[in-house]
Structure 1
Amino acid sequence: MKPFLYPEEPHSRGNPIQERRPLSDEIYEALVTELISLRIPPNARMSVDALARQFGVSQTPIRGALIRLETEGLVVKKHNAGYSAAPLPSGKHFEEAYLMRTLLEPEAASLAAANVKPEDIHALRALCDHMEQLVTEDTQGNYGRFAMLDGQFHARITEMCGNELLQHTLQGLYAHMHLFRLRYHSSVAEEAIKEHLAIVEAISRCDSGAARSAMANHIQASRDRMKPYYQHL
Structure 2
Amino acid sequence: MSVPSAVAGLLRRPARLGDEVYSAIFERIMTLDIAPGTRISVDAMARELGVSPTPVREALARLEAEGLVHKTHLVGYSASPQLSGKQFADLYQLRLLLEPFVARQCALLMDDAMIDELAGLCADMRALATGETLGSYAKFAQLDMVFHDQLAASAGNDLVIAALSRLHTHVHLFRLVATPKATNAAVDEHDAIVSAIRQRNPDAAEAAMRSHVVKSRVRFGRD
Fold shared per TM-score above 0.5: yes
Aligned match of 2:118: 124
What's the TM-score once normalised by structure 1's chain length?
0.89
Aligned match of 2:8: 10
Matched, 1:138 2:132: yes
Matched, 1:174 2:168: yes
CA distance in 1, matches of 2:105, 2:199: 13
What's the TM-score once normalised by structure 2's chain length?
0.93
CA distance in 1, matches of 2:128, 2:86: 31
Partner amino acid, structure 2, of 1:23: L
Partner amino acid, structure 2, of 1:129: A
Query: Which residue of 87, 96, 113 maps to 1:93?
Result: 87
**Structure 1 residue 185, shift from structure 2 partner:** 3.0
> Deviations 1:196-217 (Å, cap 9, x if unpaired)?
0000000001111111110001
Aligned match of 1:54: 48
Partner amino acid, structure 2, of 1:157: L
Q: Percent same amino acid among aligned pairs?
A: 42
Q: Is the Cα contact below 8 Å between 2:134 and 2:180 reproduced in 1?
A: no
Query: Which residue of 129, 144, 155 maps to 2:149?
Result: 155
Aligned CA-pair RMSD = 1.3
Aligned match of 1:109: 103
Q: Is the Cα contact below 8 Å between 1:116 and 1:206 reproduced in 2?
A: no
What runs of 5+ residues in structure 2 fail to find an aligned partner? 1-6
Q: Is the Cα contact below 8 Å between 2:182 and 2:220 reproduced in 1?
A: no
What runs of 5+ residues in structure 1 fail to find an aligned partner? 1-8
CA distance in 1, matches of 2:201, 2:208: 11
CA distance in 1, matches of 2:18, 2:165: 21
CA distance in 1, matches of 2:155, 2:61: 27
Greater than 3 Å deviation, 4+ residue runs: none
Q: Is the Cα contact below 8 Å between 1:27 and 1:62 reproduced in 2?
A: yes
Q: Is the Cα contact below 8 Å between 1:113 and 1:211 reproduced in 2?
A: yes
SS of aligned partner of 2:46: helix
- Count of aligned pairs between the two proteins: 217
Aligned match of 2:3: none
Query: Which residue of 56, 72, 96 maps to 2:66?
Result: 72
Q: Is the Cα contact below 8 Å between 1:37 and 1:140 reproduced in 2?
A: yes
